[in-house]
Amino acid sequence: MLLDSSKPIPLDDHLCFSLYATSRAIQKLYHDGLSKEGLTYPQYLVLVSLYQYKELTVKRLGELLSLDSGTLTPLLKRLENEGLVLRKRSKTDERVVNVQLTEKGSDKRESINELPEILVAKSNFTTDEWNTLENLSKKLFNNITQ
């Protein structure tokens, strides 16, 4: 829909609201599976990222998750206290902190592997619809954050 800036847009026609409400619904859907494992949604995203990349700097992890260091550092401290991640200062540059999953963290990540499948199933989308949604969502994010 092309917007007519001469009139206010009704709530139902605000893409930002639709995306916000959908994001909250997804987090709610994930909540039960995550709470059984004692995880929050942002902690889950950290585990997913570290499982995929094996080791990341705190800076790169923040970039991937769109989290600032003020949010990410306490989150990583909690995960480290639970034995799920390990933070180490770089030997070549003391300012750089690397993060990796522990074996316990890897096991926890694997134990909640079904959550994305639950979301896909509940969406009732075809594979093409799902792929289109993912691609357009990524494109929108990249376009508005550049």
Total domain count for the chain?
Answer: 1
The span from the CA of 24 to the CA of 39, in Å, is 16
Instruction: Tell me how far apart the alpha carbons of residues 32 and 118 are, in angstroms, rounded to a whole number.
Output: 12
Lookup: tokens for 27: 């987090």
pLDDT at res. 60: 96
Residue 141 maps to a domain: no
* 58 within a domain of the structure (yes/no): yes
Residue with tokens 């987090």: 27
Per residue of the chain (146 residues), give pLDDT as tens. Answer: 566 667 888 888 889 999 999 999 999 999 988 999 999 999 999 999 999 999 999 999 999 999 998 999 999 999 999 999 999 998 888 899 999 999 999 999 999 999 999 999 999 999 999 999 999 999 999 999 88
The CATH number covering residue 39 comes to 1.10.10.10
Q: Which domain holds residue 74?
A: 26-122
Question: What b/e string do you get for 108-117 counting C-beta neighbours within 10 Å, with b at 16 or more?
Answer: bbeebeebee
Q: Is 112 within the bounds of a domain?
A: yes
Residue 57: both structure tokens together:
């700097």
Nearest to 102 by CA among 85, 116, 90: 85
Q: Identify the DSSP state of 12.
A: G
CA distances from 103 to 32, 48, 110, 142 (A): 23, 14, 11, 33
Phi–psi pair at 6, nearest 5 degrees: -80, -15
In the numeric block, which tokens belong to residue 113?
């592997």
